Amino acid sequence: MFFEGIIINISVLIAGFYFISKLSRLPLDSRIPVGKKIQIGFFNGLLCFLLMKFSISTIDYPPIDLRHIPLLIAACYVGPLAALITAIIISISCIIISFTETGTIVAINYCIIGLVLTVCSYYIRRSIRYRAILFSIITLSFIVIGYAYSTGPNLVKFGEFTLLIALFTAVSMYLAMMLLKDLKRKKLEILTYQGQAQHDFLTSLLNKRMFDRAIRHINQYKENTVLMLIDIDYFKKVNDIYGHDAGDLVLKEIASILNAHTAYGQKVFRIGGEEFSVILIDCPAPLAKKIGEDICREVANHPFILSNGTRIRITISIGISSSGQDGDKNSLSLFRLADRALYQAKSDGRNRVFYASDETVHHQTV
């Protein structure tokens, strides 16, 4: 029963941590959003409840379990909020499972442990390993003091119990930390690959794949959705005269200018060699035109300084279309209109913005 109990308790613990780590796309640490911290605290508490239910039977001592491990993991990895929620659920579970004097003492003890770990987790910002060792020592001290208080003075039993619980804690903390480290590495790899699949490697803007996806979903935004198509003028000449590296530098600086002119929620894409696009959601036409003109003017006035110190001037042409206040244009007609406006901007001399509205293409010179 003793060994079975150990195997079951550790298996429940590891399976529980695997499930809990799935709750967040990001690795478990203090940077995850508050909502996720609350969720993790709650599920950590449920895991503690399960661990208490499958406690390890011993002949000489009261049943032992690993309920303190999720609490330690919450305090070490996620932070004070998750630790506090976990501690509250453990304390309630102690009373639900055993509504006796001992159960109440254990519940109070876990309330104290939870509060101490919450404070420590808030103030102690050292490495995970440091926190794990320190928090484990603190927790074990409270557990063995609680044990001594509820079982009376027996130095031999106290020593044996202390050794046993310390050994279980060390082994299960080691296993849990190994699992979380492995899952963190996997999550970071996935986030890196996702980033690479969605972004252009040169400018770090969203790439053509993301543009196609955004265009497909553009209909859901309905009114005042603006599509801007931006093309660098005579870019081939930059490459031919100053070299490919100079061309790359120009592309990166234009990307920065576009980013600087777009607010949070507005998306900038590199959709071709020297073609960019901006999608503005809920942007009235006059504002869209102003943003386009500002971008066009800023690029024309920007001194592009090449690695050999040469300063060159670059211009861009912009075609704009908008779904208007009725939101009656689908993504295809928005794209066609913006493309036609861009063509007009190019054929009319470049370095200018054209705003397309239905069948009419209104001309605006910067």
Ligand X SMILES: Nc1nc2c(ncn2[C@@H]2O[C@H](COP(=O)(O)OP(=O)(O)OP(=O)(O)O)[C@@H](O)[C@H]2O)c(=O)[nH]1
Write down the least CB distance from residue 207 to ligand X, Å. 12
| 243 phi, psi to nearest 5 deg | 100, 165
The one catalytic residue in 253, 274, 293, 298 is: 274
Locus of tokens 């959705």: 225
Applying CB under 6 A, the residues found at the interface with ligand X are 202, 231-236, 239, 244, 247-248, 251, 273-274, 346
CB-nearer residue toward ligand X: 40 or 238: 238
Maximal C-alpha separation, the chain: 96
- Torsion region of 350: left, alpha or beta (phi above 0 gives left; psi -120 to 50 gives alpha): left
CB nearer to ligand X: pick between 66 and 206: 206
The β-bridge relationship of strands 316-322 and 353-357 is: parallel
d(CA 283, CA 43): 42
Minimum distance from residue 123 beta carbon to ligand X (Å): 49
Question: Closest distance between ligand X and the C-beta of residue 261, in Å?
Answer: 21
Is 274 designated active site? yes
CB of 249 vs ligand X, minimal distance in Å? 8
Contact 84, 41 (CB under 8 A): yes
Please choose, from the candidates 52, 41, 144, the residue with its C-alpha nearest in 3D space to the C-alpha of residue 85: 41
For the bound state, the minimum distance from the C-beta of residue 41 to ligand X, rounded and expressed in Å, comes to 47
Identity of the amino acid at 314: I
117 or 342: CB nearest ligand X: 342
Residue nearer to ligand X on the CB measure, 137 or 202: 202
User: Closer CB to ligand X, residue 34 or residue 202?
Assistant: 202
Per-residue three-class SS string for 72-109: HHHHHHHCHHHHHHHHHHHHHHHHHHCCCHHHHHHHHH
Residues assigned a catalytic role: 274
